[in-house]
Amino acid sequence: MTTSCEQIQQKLPEYWAGIISVNEHRAVDTHLAACQACRNESAELGRLWANLDRVPVEAPGPAVRTRFYDMLDAYRSGADEKAPAAAPSWWSRWFGQPLPVFAGALAMLAVGFFAARSFYSPPVVKPETSEIAQLRGEVNSIREMLQQQSASERLKGVTFASRADKSDRDVVFALLDTVKSDPNVNVRLAAVDAFKRFGTDHAARRQLLEAIKLQESPMVQIAIIELLVDLNDQSAVKALNAMTQDDKLQKAVQERARWAVTELH
Amino acid sequence: MRQVKDGDLRKLAVLFERHHRALFHFFLRCTSDRALSEDLVQEVYFRILRYRHTFNPQHAFTAWMYQIARNAQMDQLQKRRPEVTPDEEMASASSRVDDVLSRDQEVALLRRAMELLPEDKREVLVLSRYQELKYEEIAQILGIEVGAVKVRVFRAVRALGDLYTELAGAKA
């Protein structure tokens, strides 16, 4: 039985690559020995096939890895927030970081928190006065901490803010300022997480929604979108819908906005 | 991927470390656009997370990943690529060939010939030549029979040869 040229041609790439079975290899050899046209074409294209190895290709840049881990981190924290038994997402995010500065910040935070509690609770003061003083002191401390030069100090401020009275608008808007303008993406992300506690404030939620467009980081944008879903903010649907078509936003952000619209409907 | 699907999202890092270079090379060879290729790698892993529930553990992860990669690339190219006629492409490629001939004429011509291949031919050639995929996996990625993959790969190489000859003739 004679194998047709067309049947042989289909086998040639595997033949050149050396991944063909022994029987098929023999069949190709037999055909090429008998058919000059196929022999010439196989020789010419086989050389081209081999030379494709010589076409260099660049390695991906280091930013690819960084962006991936940032994205995974942000996504995981979003997923953790949805799981009722999960730890607070800012905690898991920072606890997972290898950087000693964040471990240090957490340690200092724990020490600072307990020290602050004991400082603001002297037994000789009436309970009411003590609470007010403590709250005022904490709000002032939060404001100051959110304006520190050190990112880890600002991070501590965010953490204190997440424990503040949820009706305290000073804290709410200090957090919003952090979300909008803190130079460190990690502090902004932590501020978004902390904001969850203050989600009942409609005006603040509107500002949070507007903050999406001010962000350069798609991670923060996605974190805000996911928070709006967690807060079940139906009034955000129109703006989120517009984001799905906004070419200034990254594709991943548009997709998350699309997902959010579906979740909120 | 089964663990990622079951909720252990950290395991995606293992898949990233194993496949992201090959994925980046796939995009770079298909698009010749480094920044776009890096964005597309990011997009693929985001989609893997987003659509992890749709992964079927009975199928190869790589085939599923490249299916996502193709879709992501098509979405991007539809958005970004302006209409260019083949003649304009050829003129543009020839002028760029002049720039690099002194370095390595043959490789430069081959690279330009790859760029000029129609997208479907370039894609099947990259999948079969560079991505270390079995023909069965390529068939799954493209949604066609294995026999059809073999036909397409040969036709792509032949088209590449024609373009290469044409470019070499234009240069001579």
In the structure encoding, which two tokens stand for residue A177, read together? 């300022």
A7 close contact with B: CB closer than 8 A? no
- Please report residues of A whose CB lies closer than 8 A to that of B16: 65, 68, 72
Span A83-98, average pLDDT: 40
Closest CA to A159 of B109, A174, A26: A174
- Tell me the shortest Cα–Cα distance from A174 to chain B, in angstroms: 32
pLDDT of residue B129: 93
- Do A134 and A256 belong to one domain? yes
| Distance (Å, whole) CA A231 – CA A205 | 9
In chain A, the number of structural domains is 2
Q: Where in chain B is CATH 1.10.10.10?
A: 86-171
- Do A141 and A21 belong to one domain? no
- Count how many Cα atoms sit within 13 Å of the Cα of residue A179 in the half-sphere of its side chain: 31
More confident: A208 or B135: B135
- Do A88 and A120 belong to one domain? yes
B137 close contact with A: CB closer than 8 A? no
A202: domain range? 63-264
Mean pLDDT of chain B: 82
More confident: A33 or A199: A33
Tell me the fold of B86-171.
Answer: Arc Repressor Mutant, subunit A (1.10.10)
When pLDDT is cut at 50, 70 and 90, the band that residue A118 belongs to is very low
- Tell me the shortest Cα–Cα distance from B58 to chain A, in angstroms: 25
With a CB-CB cutoff of 8 Å, which residues 41-100 of chain A face chain B?
41, 44-45, 48-49, 51-52, 54-61, 63-65, 67-69, 71-72, 75-76, 79
Domain B2-80 - what CATH class? mainly alpha
pLDDT of residue B83: 44
pLDDT one-digit tens code per residue, B32-46: 888 889 888 988 998
What is the complex's ipTM, to 2 decimals? 0.79
- Do A217 and A114 belong to one domain? yes
When pLDDT is cut at 50, 70 and 90, the band that residue B96 belongs to is very low
Which of B154, B160, B166, B167 has the most A C-beta neighbours within 10 Å, making it the best mutation to test the interface with A?
B154
Residue owning tokens 């001010």: A214
B11 close contact with A: CB closer than 8 A? no
More confident: A224 or A161: A224
B76 close contact with A: CB closer than 8 A? yes
| Distance (Å, whole) CA A145 – CA A155 | 8
pLDDT exceeds 60 at position A110 = no
Closest CA to A162 of A150, A175, A179: A175
pLDDT of residue A26: 92
Write a three-state SS string for B107-140: HHHHHHHHHHCCHHHHHHHHHHHCCCCCHHHHHH
CATH, residue A176: 1.25.10
Q: Where in chain B is CATH 1.10.1740.10?
A: 2-80
Distance of CA B82 to the CA centre of its chain: 19
When pLDDT is cut at 50, 70 and 90, the band that residue B74 belongs to is confident
pLDDT exceeds 80 at position A29 = yes
More confident: B5 or B123: B123
pLDDT exceeds 50 at position A107 = no
pLDDT exceeds 70 at position B94 = no
- Please report residues of A whose CB lies closer than 8 A to that of B29: 57
- Tell me the shortest Cα–Cα distance from B7 to chain A, in angstroms: 9
Measuring CA to CA, how many Å separate A244 from each of A130, A205, A215, A219, B51? 49, 19, 16, 16, 18
More confident: B76 or B170: B76
